[in-house]
Amino acid sequence: MSELRKDLVSGRWVIIATERSKRPDDFRPASEARPASEPGGFCPFCESSESKTPPEVFALRAEGTRPDTPGWRVRVVPNKFPALNRGTPPPKFTRGVLQWMEGIGVHEVVIENPDHAKELADLSVPHVRDVLWVYQQRIKAIEEELHYQYVQVFKNKGKEAGASLSHPHSQIVATPIVPKRVKEEIYGADRLSRSCKECVFCRTIREEAAAGERLVHKNSHFGIFTPFASRFPFEMAVYPLRHSPFFTDLREEELGILAGTMKAVLTKLKQTLGDPPFNLVLHQAPNPSLSHKTWPDIDRNFHWHFEVFPILTKMAGFEWGTGYHINPVSPETAATFLKFEGPA
């Protein structure tokens, strides 16, 4: 069982996850380490290996096919080595200056398609739509259990981005506390929305679209730009033009347009940078039951979005020490390479 521990001074929570018990040997540089189990062939996420994962919790599959058999388009399974495990609301323990709780949470894997070689960018728009729809369904289902305060959907593509298996997949981790990073966005948005007299995200995308120098693409429903203070080279933000704090509020027709938009964004990233490792994260308001109680203005002030960043630089001493990022590519330059027209 893992544990959530709080660093009192910074207010940061850390997950001590012992499911995959590591020894110093496991952390040696790749050249010395024992060969990884995967390049050699076997992949538990490929079609016909369904029995090699924990039983599926959700799948989009052909009519008449049984769970945990071939015939699926998108399949969701619990992570075999979860950072957090499902359970009842964990009590918080305190001893002296130490604070911790049992590592209760959800950790699922969304296997985006049965074909090992097809990345999200390579899938058809309807298939990408299915993946996004599955995100929505899992978020809604997990949020029914009120003690899961925040559901984080993310994707690690490539070893450098943290993916341990190369079969295209995303992950969902729900935590019993709202992450510090998300709280910073909520409080920042609250404060700025008061001075802007409107949602600061709505204002940002409107101003970025008007200025144009960081705008990557805009269509009827979404705007993509390289953030003014981008932390990473070629970082992008994807904002819905219709204000909403919850990704789960996205309507059927918007989901199709988002699918086309995300496919285009990821394709452009792939073409521009030669299939780089990247992270994709979804930021949305925490579990609605908690959000509305804790942040009464959240419906007005928060605005869900995706952040996408290729992994081209490493966090180093200065970044860890200060929280500053040094970005060697200006977002204005990045935008000139990433801009695209059509399709959505």
Q: Which positions are annotated as active-site residues?
A: 169
Q: Which of 264, 263, 215, 259 minimizes the C-alpha distance to 237?
A: 215
**Least distance in Å: CB of 24 to Zn ion?**
30
3-state SS assignment for residue 92? strand
The answer to the question of residue 338 lying near Zn ion (CB under 5 A) is no
For residue 96, give the DSSP letter.
T
Compose the 161-190 pattern: x for residues touching Zn ion by CB under 5 A, - for all others: ------x-----------------------
**Least distance in Å: CB of 140 to Zn ion?**
21
Answer whether 284's CB lies under 8 Å from 304's CB: yes
C-alpha angle 232/237/242, rounded to 5°?
A: 170
Q: Is 317 exposed, middle or buried (0-12, 13-18, 19+ CB in 10 A)?
A: exposed
**Least distance in Å: CB of 218 to Zn ion?**
15
- Region near Zn ion per CB under 5 A, out of 58-66, 80-88, 201-209, 245-253: 201-209
- Region near Zn ion per CB under 5 A, out of 51-59, 110-118, 139-147, 270-278: 110-118
Q: Please, which residue, 86 or 325, has the CB nearer to Zn ion?
A: 325
The DSSP H or E segment spanning 238 is strand 236-240
By CB under 5 A, the count of residues binding Zn ion is 11
Residues near 102 by Cβ (< 8 Å), separated by ≥ 6?
A: 1, 3, 4, 87, 90, 91
Name which position in 201, 222, 225, 247 contacts Zn ion (CB under 5 A): 201
CB atoms within 10 A of CB 164: 11
Name which position in 77, 83, 134, 202 contacts Zn ion (CB under 5 A): 202
Q: Letter for the amino acid at 320?
A: W
Q: Please, which residue, 6 or 283, has the CB nearer to Zn ion?
A: 283
The answer to the question of residue 43 lying near Zn ion (CB under 5 A) is yes
- Region near Zn ion per CB under 5 A, out of 126-134, 151-159, 199-207, 289-297: 199-207
Answer whether 37's CB lies under 8 Å from 49's CB: no
Sign of CA dihedral 213, 219, 222, 224: negative
- Considering only residues 113 to 132 of the shown chain, the ones binding Zn ion according to CB under 5 A are 116
3-state SS assignment for residue 233? coil
Name which position in 121, 178, 199, 338 contacts Zn ion (CB under 5 A): 199
Q: Letter for the amino acid at 202?
A: C
**Least distance in Å: CB of 303 to Zn ion?**
4
Residues near 310 by Cβ (< 8 Å), separated by ≥ 6?
A: 232, 233, 234, 235, 269, 273, 276, 277, 278
**How many Cα atoms within 13 Å fall on the side-chain side of residue 203?**
13
Q: Give the whole-angstrom CA distance, residue 344 versus residue 341.
A: 9
The answer to the question of residue 61 lying near Zn ion (CB under 5 A) is no
**Least distance in Å: CB of 114 to Zn ion?**
8
- Considering only residues 261 to 290 of the shown chain, the ones binding Zn ion according to CB under 5 A are 283
**Least distance in Å: CB of 45 to Zn ion?**
5
Compose the 294-313 pattern: x for residues touching Zn ion by CB under 5 A, - for all others: ---------x----------
**Least distance in Å: CB of 205 to Zn ion?**
8
Compose the 235-254 pattern: x for residues touching Zn ion by CB under 5 A, - for all others: --------x-----------
Give me the residues that bind Zn ion (CB under 5 A), please: 43, 45-46, 116, 167, 199, 201-202, 243, 283, 303
